[in-house]
Structure formats: C-alpha cells, structure tokens
Chain A
Amino acid sequence: MYAALWRILPGPTWARVTMLVAGAVIVVTLLMMFVFPAIDDFISSTDPAVN
C-alpha cells in the first residue's frame, strides 16, 4: 500500500519525501480540525455529570 504510493509519486527521492510529508501534514490537520471533533461525541464516554 505505502510501497505502491512511493512508486506512484514522481521525481527524485527528496521530492517524494517532501510530497509525503506535506501530504501527512494535510491529513493530520484535516483529521484534527474536522474528523476528530465530529466523531468525539460518539467515542468519548467520560461524563462528569451524575445521572
């Protein structure tokens, strides 16, 4: 999977590494800004209230 991704990317090693790092930064940012807040309510079970 990741080996295939490496093969598909064009250019010399430094260019591929740069693209992968940039891609990782984008993915992590999107996760933290949109995905995690959206799924948090379904995952987290700590409830400080008594009920």
Chain B
Amino acid sequence: MYRKRLLAATNIFGELLITAGVLVLLFLAWQLWVNNALVASSQLNRVAQNSQHWSTGAATDPTTDDFGKPPVLAHVGKGETIGNLYVPRLGAASTRAVAESVDPHMSLNRGYFGHYSSSQWPGQAGNFALAVHRSGWGTGFAQAQLLRTGDRIYLETATGYYGYTVRNIEYVKPTSVDVLNAVPGTTRSAVAGQSILTITTCSPQDGNVERLVTYAVLDSWRPRSAGPFSDLAPLMKKA
C-alpha cells in the first residue's frame, strides 16, 4: 500500500516536471518566434503609418543636395515617436520606429529603437544615443555586426530626413555609460557642428555580457519638401 502510494506520488511529480519543461520550451518559442514576429510586423505597420502621416507627397528632388545645416529635431515626451530609422545594409524589413526613452515597456520591448533621454537630439551638437534589442522583441537589428564603416543610416522624421554615415563599431562592457556622452567615450563637451548617432545593442546576439555599439556621424539632411535621399526612397517603398 505504502509502496503504491509512493509510486503514484513519484508519477505525478515526474509529470509535473515534464509539464514544467514543456512550459519553458513554449515560453522560448513564444519569445524567439511568436512574439518576435508579431512585434516586427506591427513595427513595420507603424513605420508605414508614420511615413504616410508625415508625407508631403514630395518626390526626390535631385537638383540639389545642399539644404544647409540640419535643424535640431523638436523634443517629444517619453514613449512618443521620434522617427523611423532605416538601415540600408540590413534591408527594408529591418526598419523600426524610434521612440523617446529606453524604458522596456515604452519602447524596447515593443520593437522600437529607444532614445536615451539623457543624450542629445538629431541636429544638436553632441550625441543622439539609441538602444535596441538584438534578438526577440521584433528587433530589426539582429545582424548589426554586418554594419561597416561608410554605411548609411537614415532617420525619417516629421520635418525631414537626417542622413548618417557609420564611423566605427565597438564592443564595450554593459556598464560603459560613457558611450552616451556628447563626445562618446570621453568627458568632453559637445563639439559645435558635430552630431553623432550612437546605437547600443546586445552582444553576443542572445547574450548580455557585452554591448555592441555603432557610431555614425550626421553629415546630410533633406527637408520633407525636397523628398527623401535617392537611396532611401526605394527602402521606404518596401518598408
């Protein structure tokens, strides 16, 4: 009798363990594929909606590339949309919206690039610093290691298009907050006319022990009335 009860209890315990194992696998499947795909597709919709909402209908005007100094982008509140970030090297499907704050609930876990509120803004002397997931949460930045010096990154906003060129990439410790400084990696104050884009993401791809940091320099600007950069227009159609 005692033996039989013990056997039944062991059976139930074993089944509970198997159930727990299945639950963990289901959770991983949700995180890596289900949620990832859902968030990614809602981001692509959002990107297209933003583009449409800001649209002036202007086609690319090739007559000039010089529209003067990029204006400082108007600040927005936490959780609000700043723009759409296009990374041609990673393809149109990698496009994601940018939102204010790096709070996971407000931006990162909803697939956005999140703007470090302590850093500066596009067009402003200093550092426009963003964070983005590298795996899961609908990220478009999983293949960030493919970015090379000279690659273009575009920020589409309500007022125009900011064009950045990748300067370098760097692997740092998760505590290296100095990459967010006005002149990244230093304690110097912002250099007039130098506006940097810094993107921090996880490294290794599914890990948490390092950060992959991509630095790009703002070197061009087009108002919405002039239409997008010629190599940005096809990406916007596909996104």
Residues of B within 8 A of A (CB): 11-12, 15-16, 23, 26-27, 30-31, 34-35, 102, 104-105, 108-109, 114, 116, 131-136, 172, 174-177, 179-180, 200-202, 206-208, 211, 213
- Within the complex, what minimum Cβ distance (angstroms) separates B129 from chain A? 9
The total of interchain contacts (Cβ-Cβ below 8 angstroms) comes to: 73
Query: How many angstroms between the C-alpha atoms of A47 and B103 in the bound complex?
Result: 10
A4-46 contacts to B, CB under 8 A, are: 28, 31-32, 36-37, 39-41, 43-46
A46 vs B142: C-alpha distance in the bound complex, in angstroms?
13
Q: Give the B-binding residues of A (Cβ under 8 A).
A: 1-3, 28, 31-32, 36-37, 39-41, 43-51
**A–B Cβ pairs within 8 angstroms, 18 of them:** A2-B15, A3-B11, A28-B26, A31-B23, A32-B30, A36-B30, A36-B31, A46-B133, A46-B135, A46-B202, A46-B206, A48-B108, A48-B134, A49-B116, A49-B200, A50-B172, A50-B174, A51-B174
- Bound-complex Cα distance A49 to B108 (A): 9
Cβ of A50 and Cβ of B15 under 8 Å apart? no
| A34-B131 Cα distance, complex, nearest whole Å | 26
CB-CB under 8 A from B208, the residues of chain A are 45-47
Closest CB in chain B relative to A39 CB, distance in Å: 8
